Amino acid sequence: MIVRLAEGPLRTKFGTFLEVLYYDGQQELVAIVMGDVRQGEHILCRLHSHCLDAHVFNSTECDCREQMEIAQALIEQQGAGVIIWLDQEGRGNGHLALMKSRALQEQGLSQTEAYLQLGYAADARQYGRAAEILHDLGITSVVLMTNSPHKIESLQAAGITITGTQPLVLDPGENTMLRRRYADKIAQGHRIHLAPEQV
């Protein structure tokens, strides 16, 4: 069960959001909201997991920072939406798992294969708390900004109505690691459509 702790304005380069801080008894969760979303339908929504390397250290090995920026920009254009920040580093396995997996990825394993070989779950992320936050915000239905069927299925199982999806995909260009990450995600069922030379 979540508890709303505090809220206040958050000024960003994509406009001013309302930042809402929650606590679930173990960790903090944050929702940033733009516009009047209560009783809103088809509200743009992004569930975004913590990524220390990308958001703090500007890593080029994933697209987490860019996906956050795209989500905020789309919400600014729409005038309303919500992003829920979840402390689920390393696909929910933690930063240690992420760091350990790098050596195996350098040997050619995908991130999924590396996690499994190390004894971690391929994806341990959970989205039940995010669903509780959406209910608390009074959102009726969402357009989910994601490529992940796992997020869609998890929210639907928690009673959230999803009326559409908005994929967030970058052109990996010459970034070999990002191309490999996308290939891994496609193998896990993510809805990513790239030209053959891009994966």
**Which residues are tagged catalytic?**
123, 125
Longest dimension (CA), the chain: 50
Write out the DSSP string of 41-106: SSEEEEEEE--HHHHTT--SSS-HHHHHHHHHHHHHHHT-EEEEEE--TTTTT-HHHHHHHHHHHH
Number of other CB atoms surrounding residue 145 within 10 Å: 23
Quote the tokens at residue 68: 């956050």
Only one residue has tokens 């958050």, namely 10
